[in-house]
Amino acid sequence: MREIIFDTETTGLDAKDDRIIEIGAVELVNRFPTGRTFHHYIHPEGRAIHPDAQAVHGISLADLAEKPIFSGVADEFIAFIDGAKLIAHNANFDIGFINAEFARLGYAPVETGRVIDTLALARRKHPMGPNSLDALCKRYGVDNSRRTKHGALLDSELLAEVYIELIGGKQAALILETAAAAAAGEALSAGLADVSYVRPAPLPPRLTEAERAAHAKLVGGLGENAIWAKLQPTVLAAE
């Protein structure tokens, strides 16, 4: 199962008029990071960056002067997310901007059925909140000390760890590994139980003839109802 955790930074809050200026994404396969990432800063094509937005992500127009426009990275991004579920925190915001950029290029939008919103997951799991990315990092012990400003790639990496914790991925993997180990142990035990060991040659007797005679004399004196009288042939044979 392939999933892409992604995040965007933008010039403002209105997807119709504002533009994406950064995209970051990380790949998970079977809930484990593969190390593959996607990251680009993007020139907003003349759109100013709102001061409130810049205060959050710290990206200025000067920082983007030599960066590609969205059309220059769109095909690479589409290839990176192809066939995967898309996961974002407050996903409606990020998908809204992605689809607005796609629409400007005449590309098909991302279908909502491909998208998982970790904010919605967190609100269901922790209804009393808080459920911001920073709060969830603290709840799950994810180190976010590098997050002095919002950044699309760093936030995607942090969200990947949070997402795995939200869905119980590590715990589920541990349970599966434990179950597999138990099943292997049971199979081994069953196999051993089916093995019959036959000694190729009997061990030499450990009783001397004198000891056998002394034991028989003792048992004879106990009477015919004595337990030893009934067990003596078996015991002696075992010896």
Cα 14 from Cα 116, distance rounded (Å): 21
* Amino acid found at 99: N
Catalytic residue among 43, 57, 89, 150: 150
Helix (H, G, I), strand (E, B) or coil at 176: helix
**Do 73 and 41 meet the contact criterion of CB atoms below 8 Å apart?**
no
Active site residue 126: no
Could you list the beta-strand ranges (E) of the chain: 2-10, 20-29, 32-41, 85-88, 115-117
CA angle 30, 36, 40 (to 5 degrees): 130
- Alpha carbon separation from 5 to 17, 99, 192 (Å, rounded): 25, 16, 47
Active site residues: 150
